[in-house]
Amino acid sequence: MSRTFTLKENLGLQFAQWENTTIISADISKQQREVLLANFKAAIRIPSVSFSQTHQNTSALREFDQLLRRVFPNVFSSSLVKHEVVGNYSHLFTVLGTDPELVPYMLLAHIDVVPANEVDGWEAPPFSAKELNGFIYGRGTIDNKQCVMGILQAVEYLLERGYVPRRGFYIGLGHDEEVYGYNGAVNIAKVLKSGGVKLQYILDEGLAVMDGIITGLNGPAALIGVSEKGQATVKLSASTRLGHSSMPPKENSIGILAAAITRVMERRPDMNAFVRTTTAVTMFNSGVKVNVLPSHAEAFVNLRIHPAQTLQEVLDLIKSTISDNRVKLELVDGFDSLPISSYDEQSFGYQIIKKTLLDMFPQVTVAPSICIGNTDSRHYMDLTQDIYRFNPTWLRPGEPER
């Protein structure tokens, strides 16, 4: 039934006159494939790590810049493409179209990765790009250098074949997405906004093809994120009188706070990241000596807020759930979930992405969903009403944990 519905729903797309352009085959030669993989491995081997907002591997970011210029010569030399470096290390590409009446779209990805250490259970060194059983291992292979290299490689191939688009588009490659994107994506968005740019839609990283991961669904599903969860960090703390372990009171600061956190987590024991707000205790600090009862304990809780709730509603729920005046609640930082982008049959961006997915992966079911992580795309909300989040990555059971 699902497959029949998918075919029927997409019938009109086969005859849509949206672009009316000549189709260029996606087939590549064996030699091109070898070069493509070599370029991708080179990208993975560059440790472009973001440790914090004030600490990034800037030498690696400069090395990545040189790699892009070397392996995508047409992108950087074509008269159709304007390139700008933004925030020292991010990249903005403007690809001109032949029809200025068509509103452009934008593709996003990010260069930076989170830290990785081989002792953390890696089957191969995290920046080795080693091949094992047909897979390339390395930090950034699925977050998010596959999109960086895939986007630019596609443009490189199209330029080689003389392609000139009717609809112009932008490419934004951020360098600090893993630490909130304040220097990369924020500044790229400012450049576009200052130029009066409005976008038809944006496609950023996000969900993927889930094969055998969704309970009750037979076959793979390509989930397109039409919204993404909000996020908040909350500090919970409790204070009591200082004491000694030889004369323990009935309750101390650690016990009070632990009980409060337990009530928060047990509120919904069957929490599921896709359908509700999630809570995760990420830090718990207390104590200075083994035989001294601490007077103060604090914990940090990370919340991923479902679009059905606001940040304030979640804070109110936590407070009422804890229901203990001895526990202080402070909002460290946070923001609401993003608006839900259109995904009906008249939605240009969603249907273009969906049609492309079905062209490449005809066996998948395509469906809208909620991106449970946060992306750079939230910084571009003033430029478009429609933001979509999808990675062209095929994931099987056990692989999302990677």
**How far apart (Å, rounded) are the C-alpha atoms in residues 150 and 306?**
30
Please give the Cα distance from 364 to 295 (Å, whole number): 56
- DSSP type of residue 249: -
**388: Cα separation from own chain's centroid:** 11
Is 382 known to be catalytic? Answer: no
Query: Given strand 327-335, what is the order of strands in its sheet?
Result: 278-286, 296-305, 230-239, 327-335
**372-386 exposure pattern, b = at least 16 Cβ within 10 A, e = fewer:** bebbbbbbbeebbeb
Compute φ and ψ for 376, nearest 5 degrees. Answer: -65, -20
Cα-Cα-Cα-Cα torsion 288, 290, 296, 298, nearest 10 degrees, comes to 80
Catalytic member of 112, 178, 205, 376: 112
> Is 376 tagged catalytic?
no
Distance CA 137, CA 324 (A): 47
Of the residues 177, 204, 376, 386, only one is catalytic, namely: 177
Q: What CA–CA distance (Å, rounded) separates 402 from 388? A: 23
Residues 6+ apart with CB under 8 A from 283: 299, 300
Q: What is the CA radius of gyration of the chain?
A: 24
Q: Rounded to 5 degrees, what are φ and ψ at 363?
A: -90, 0
Give burial (CB, 10 Å; 0-12/13-18/19+) of 31: exposed
The secondary structure of 46-111 as a DSSP string is S--BEEETTEE-HHHHHHHHHHHHHH-HHHHH-TTEEEEEETTTEEEEEE--S-TTSPPEEEEEE-
DSSP state of 113: B
Cα(76)–Cα(70) distance, integer angstroms: 9
Q: Which two tokens stand for residue 374?
A: 């946060």
Residues involved in catalysis: 112, 177
